Amino acid sequence: MKNLAYLQGGVAAVSRFVVGLAFFVLIAVVTLQIVTRTFGLPSPVWTEELSRYLLLYLTAFGIGLSLMTGELVNVDLVQEIMPPRAAWWMRLVAALCTAGLGLVMIWPAWKFTRIGAFQQSPSLRWPMDIIHASVLVLSVLLFLFALLRVIGMIAGTDDGRPHLAEEE
């Protein structure tokens, strides 16, 4: 089970790094837009397009982290009034459904990504499969994080509750 914790920690660390990097680049791009518009200079056309793509990847790599911290969707009102064992089962079923959703999304996301190979983005001229891959990354990471939660719950190393950053 130590390997499970290392895997989850490693995937979370990579996701945090990519989210941070994408956010940093997004800040730089938006700052470039603001500065050029403030001083009456022509704003580079590609900045708006790149901002949209960075937001897609922020979401894709942040989805699993959001699941871990309970910031994705966490309605625990009913769980709090239930006996502990029933609440645990509710969290397990929710994690299984989330993993199932991520798994079901992988194949269509792969097909969507492949379609993008025949297209280019309007201003950056990047192959759209790079952009469409954000949906594939989101699907895989949602599945992986939810599956790791399910495995951890069954192994007894995770109770299925959100892991808030302040608690770590």
Residue 166: inside a domain, yes or no? no
Coil, strand or helix at 127: strand
* pTM, two decimal places: 0.89
Cβ-proximal residues to 93 (8 Å cutoff; 6+ apart), any chain:
none
Residue 164: inside a domain, yes or no? no
Residue 30: inside a domain, yes or no? yes
Residue 165: inside a domain, yes or no? no
Handedness of CA 20, 21, 24, 26 (dihedral sign): negative
Residue 168: inside a domain, yes or no? no
Going residue by residue through the chain, which has 168 residues, state the pLDDT in tens, using 9 for 90 and above. Answer: 678 778 888 999 999 999 999 999 999 999 999 999 999 999 899 999 999 999 999 999 999 999 988 887 767 778 888 899 999 999 999 999 999 999 999 999 999 999 988 899 999 999 999 999 999 999 999 999 999 999 999 998 888 888 776 544
> Range of 46's domain?
1-155
**Cα gap 137→141, rounded to integer Å:** 6
Indicate the number of domains in the chain.
1
